[in-house]
């Protein structure tokens, strides 16, 4: 039995009508109307109870403004385990056929989609149609076209679409962005992003083109794509790229092993980045300007993130990234808080446009102009 592939087949089939659950009465998770906006708690259902879903759930135990109140999974045993571990009531548990019923569940405000990439698009459309906010792991979708459909669907349903860009809330990263905005580095000239590791199990979904939409670039290289933008502080206007594949048996057609790509920015800065599934010890960002520099190494791992600049080391305290992310996203959804670096669907579509262009230019060669 493979729940992910079963799910994919079901998504490809025509939609089926399902009865709605009745409205629930007040519970321990209900928020009184007289509580202040800052006291409101975002009630979240996690879709996809795998390794990263578990990491998010554990991190949410320390959240002040976000609470795990529901689960969606194709594996009944996982649902039972999560019910026992996190105290989730039966009426807040759904499978992939029944989760449209969250429409009538006041105990769920948002659904965090943590499934293989190919499943993000249809799941987001269904969650939005149910009137719930969408939080989706990156990459948002398989390509920019799918991502834009997700943005449009959420806008039409008047719900927010946020993406799991946890580094946008990380303290050392934000300190470098603050220094750049204050002119500490002067004119930005160069960015380097190295993102990679040696991937293990050859049968995992990340090496399945239908589920992953690609290879290393979609999974780990996206950190350098996105990081180049928030470190330089601009969106790129051109891209060049080169692909290398040393193990075609493991990395089949459409599954990239290693890609080097270069980005050009309107202010004159250039970026040189590496994305790979075949080399370890690659998690480094370097930003260089006329007056100074900044480095993060590790730059995007689960932490602690370590950094230094021309002024010395950065030693801001480490807080579990997913805890900070979920509390900050609660503020964005409940209070319309504006983050320093955007984490919305439009931000993610820009990354997908760059990724689409990288894949295209790997095949065609040359330089491709970007319009984000």
What mean pLDDT do residues 270-287 have? 98
pLDDT confidence of residue 10 = 47
C-alpha radius of gyration, the chain, whole number: 21
State which H helix or E strand residue 36 sits in.
none
The whole-angstrom separation of Cα 145 and Cα 329 is: 25
Helical ranges in the chain per DSSP H:
3-12, 51-60, 76-86, 120-129, 144-156, 171-181, 209-212, 216, 222-232, 321-335, 345-364
HSE value, Cβ hemisphere, 13 Å, CA-based, for 276: 21
pLDDT confidence of residue 39 = 79
Using the predicted structure, report yes or no on whether residue 145 has a pLDDT greater than 80: yes
Using the predicted structure, report yes or no on whether residue 17 has a pLDDT greater than 50: no
pLDDT confidence of residue 6 = 53
What mean pLDDT do residues 38-49 have? 93
What mean pLDDT do residues 90-96 have? 98
* Mean confidence (pLDDT) of the chain: 92
Tens of pLDDT, residues 299-336: 999 999 999 999 999 989 999 999 999 999 999 999 99
Task: Compute the residue count for the chain.
Answer: 372
- State percent of the chain over pLDDT 70: 90
pTM, two decimals, is: 0.90
What structural domains and CATH numbers belong to the chain? 36-166 (3.40.50.720), 167-320+342-369 (3.30.360.10)
Residue in 47, 40, 309, 338 with CA at minimum distance from that of residue 169? 338
Q: What is the DSSP letter of 233?
A: T
Tens of pLDDT, residues 44-89: 999 999 999 999 999 999 999 999 999 999 999 999 999 999 999 9
- DSSP for 253-282 reads TT--SEEEEEEE-TTS-EEEEEEESS-SSE
Q: Does residue 95 sit in helix, strand or coil?
A: coil
CA distances from 9 to 15, 120, 257, 285 (A): 12, 14, 27, 39
């Amino acid at each position: 039995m493979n729940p992910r592939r079963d799910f994919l087949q079901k998504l490809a089939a025509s939609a089926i009508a399902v009865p709605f659950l009745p409205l629930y009465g007040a519970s321990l998770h209900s928020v009184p109307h007289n509580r202040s906006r800052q006291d409101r708690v975002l009630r979240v259902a996690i879709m996809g109870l795998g390794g990263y879903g578990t990491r998010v759930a554990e991190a949410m135990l320390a959240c002040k403004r976000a609470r795990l109140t529901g689960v969606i999974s194709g594996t009944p045993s996982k649902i039972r385990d999560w019910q026992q571990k996190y105290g989730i009531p039966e009426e807040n548990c759904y499978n992939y056929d029944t989760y449209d019923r969250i429409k009538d569940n006041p105990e769920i405000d948002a659904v965090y989609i943590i499934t293989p990439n190919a499943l993000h698009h249809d799941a987001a459309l269904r969650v939005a149609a149910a009137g719930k906010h969408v939080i989706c792991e990156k990459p948002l979708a398989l390509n920019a076209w799918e991502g834009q459909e997700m943005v449009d669907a959420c806008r039409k349903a008047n719900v927010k679409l946020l993406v799991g860009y946890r580094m946008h809330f990380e303290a050392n990263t934000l300190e470098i962005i603050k220094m750049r905005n204050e002119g500490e580095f002067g004119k930005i000239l160069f960015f380097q992003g190295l993102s990679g590791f040696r991937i293990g199990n050859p049968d995992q979904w990340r090496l399945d083109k239908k589920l992953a939409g690609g290879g290393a670039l979609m999974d780990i290289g996206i950190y350098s794509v996105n990081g180049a933008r928030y470190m330089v502080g601009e969106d790129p206007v051109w891209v060049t790229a080169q692909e290398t594949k040393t193990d075609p048996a493991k990395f089949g057609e459409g599954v990239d092993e290693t890609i080097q790509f270069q980005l050009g920015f309107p202010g004159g800065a250039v970026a040189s980045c590496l994305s790979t599934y075949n080399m370890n010890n690659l998690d480094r960002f370097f930003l260089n300007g006329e007056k100074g520099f900044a480095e993060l190494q590790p730059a995007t791992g689960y932490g602690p993130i370590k950094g230094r600049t021309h002024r010395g080391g950065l030693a801001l305290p480490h807080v579990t990234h997913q805890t900070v992310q979920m509390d900050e996203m609660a503020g964005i959804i409940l209070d319309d808080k504006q983050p320093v670096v955007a984490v919305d669907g439009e931000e993610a579509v820009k990354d997908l446009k760059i990724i689409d262009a990288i894949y295209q230019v790997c095949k065609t060669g040359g330089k491709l102009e970007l319009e984000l």
